[in-house]
Amino acid sequence: MNVGNNDIPGELSEHDQWLIWRWGTTRDGKPTKQPVNPHTGELASSTNPATWGSYEVAVAAYDMFGYPGVGFVFTSGDPYVGVDLDGCRDPGTGEIEEWARRIIGALDSYSEVSPSGSGVHIIGKGTLPPGGRKRGSFECYDSGRFFTVTGEHLDGTPHEIKERGEVLRRLHRRVFGKPSRNLTNI
């Protein structure tokens, strides 16, 4: 994890929407990630700004207390959208499945390897239509959730967070528009 390095987009660090996280209970065979207040070490809430801090505070808590990582909270007051592609990357080789490569290429914004090494997080600017947020290996959020941030930039993707509103809306329509849509057909 490259927390505290220059690979995390600087504009994210300007927002006091940071926390740390710890491993939680297991759900669907995977351990969950629980948000933690970087000031107190108690559980945080992705909807309560009083439980978040600055990037610097989160990195200091991460360094001092040995948490697995830091996270950024998406809110309706910021322009960011996070797209989480699970199980699409071989942690050993770095090979990314074709369906995920298409999404990464279409969004063409800051992308990084997830903490497990087997997924990819993409952060863009825009808003999401109402409705679906998770289907299979695909998740997308623009408020009320946090994303782990590793700083492990995905080679071949921009280092900047780019405006992708229209692409995000089209992608959302493709993934959630039909109940039988399979991600491999994106």
The residues with which 148 forms a beta bridge, in sequence order, are 71
Q: Is the pLDDT of residue 186 over 80?
A: no
Q: What percent of the chain has pLDDT over 90?
A: 87
| pLDDT single digits (tens) 36-90 | 999 999 999 999 999 999 999 999 999 998 999 999 999 999 999 999 999 999 9
- What pTM was computed for the model? 0.92
Number of domains in the chain: 1
What does the pLDDT average to over 133-158? 96
d(CA 174, CA 157): 22
CA distances, 32 to each of 9, 16, 35, 60, 145 (Å): 25, 23, 10, 23, 13
Within-domain flag for 167: yes
pLDDT at position 2, please? 58
Confidence of residue 31 (pLDDT cuts 50, 70, 90): confident
Q: Which residues are catalytic?
A: 84, 86, 121, 139
Residue 182 lies in a domain: no
Q: How far apart are CA 169 and CA 82, in angstroms?
A: 13
Instruction: Write out the residue range of the structural domain in which residue 165 sits.
Output: 10-177
> Residue 33's CB: how many other CB atoms inside 10 A?
17
What amino acid occupies position 149?
A: V
